[in-house]
Amino acid sequence: MAKFVLMSGSVRRDSHNTAVLDTVRRLVAERPADDGAPHEVVSLSVAEFPLYDWDLEQGAGSADVARAQELVAGADALIISTPAYNGEMSGALKNALDWLSRPGGASPLTGRTVALASASPGARGAIDAQPALAGVLRRCGAEVVDHEPVAIGKAGELARTADGFTDPTVVAALSGLVDATFLALRSLVAAGA
Ligand SMILES: Cc1cc2nc3c(=O)[nH]c(=O)nc-3n(C[C@H](O)[C@H](O)[C@H](O)COP(=O)(O)O)c2cc1C
């Protein structure tokens, strides 16, 4: 059994990126666990994070942030899907990652396996947001899953249900990403990490 945290860069009600992660949730559930127990998949909303504030961090702190940090620290892998806002990841996602980069030297992202996807109504599927996102994660010590970029373009035109996308091309691309994530986790186990 593996534990996954899914984080969408969008808080929009009908978000394409949240739909990407709904698809991922479905695909993870279809993959058998080595111990037979169902995989654990939890969604973490970027809306749970207050605006990053050093005074808040050093003072009263935030129970929501503490819960999120604990969730990510306890996960085997984090899977993120982001829109591009002016060519970058959403500000809300960057804010969440800034909190998750804390405390300095003990970030729950350090050593964490992280897989990336993106989606947008435009043809490029928000692919432009991925390099900087990967850069931030690597800077925090995360292990970004080695996979060709999965960027879901023209997302508003693709078949989808309440359980995510059903479009075969999208399902195939996300299946590849999910399989690469499981492979990365198995490699860590094999390496004794
Ligand atoms: C401020 C702003 C900037 C945007 N910039 C881009 C962009 O650079 N590239 C792009 O593909 N879409 C851009 N969009 C459109 C978003 O991709 C679109 O709103 C998308 O649906 C958001 O993701 P979601 O469906 O997960 O909420 C932008 C939207 C807003 C509001």
User: Does the CB atom of residue 126 touch ligand 1 within 6 A?
Assistant: yes
CA of 59 to the centre of ligand 1 (A): 35
Rounded CA-CA distance 33/189 in Å is: 14
Q: Sign of torsion, CA 96 185 166 130?
A: positive
On whether the CB atoms of residues 146 and 115 are closer than 8 A, the answer is no
User: Does the CB atom of residue 121 touch ligand 1 within 6 A?
Assistant: yes
Q: Which of 10, 14, 85 to mutate to test the pocket of ligand 1 (most atoms within 8 A of CB)?
A: 85
Task: Provide the pLDDT for residue 189.
Answer: 86
- Ligand 1 atom with the smallest distance to the CA of 122 is 11
Task: Provide the pLDDT for residue 98.
Answer: 98
User: Does the CB atom of residue 118 touch ligand 1 within 6 A?
Assistant: no
Per-residue pLDDT of the chain (193 residues; tens, 9 = 90+): 999 999 999 999 999 999 999 999 999 999 988 888 899 999 999 999 999 999 999 999 999 999 999 999 999 999 999 999 999 999 999 999 999 999 989 999 999 999 999 999 999 999 999 999 999 999 999 999 999 999 999 999 999 999 999 999 999 999 999 999 999 999 998 888 7
CA of 76 to the centre of ligand 1 (A): 29
Task: Provide the pLDDT for residue 101.
Answer: 98
Q: Which residues contact 23 (CB under 8 A, 6 or more apart)?
A: 163, 164, 165, 170, 171, 174
Q: Compute the 3-state secondary structure of the chain and give helix, strand, coil in percent, each to the nearest 5.
A: 45, 15, 40
Q: Which of 15, 23, 86 to mutate to test the pocket of ligand 1 (most atoms within 8 A of CB)?
A: 86
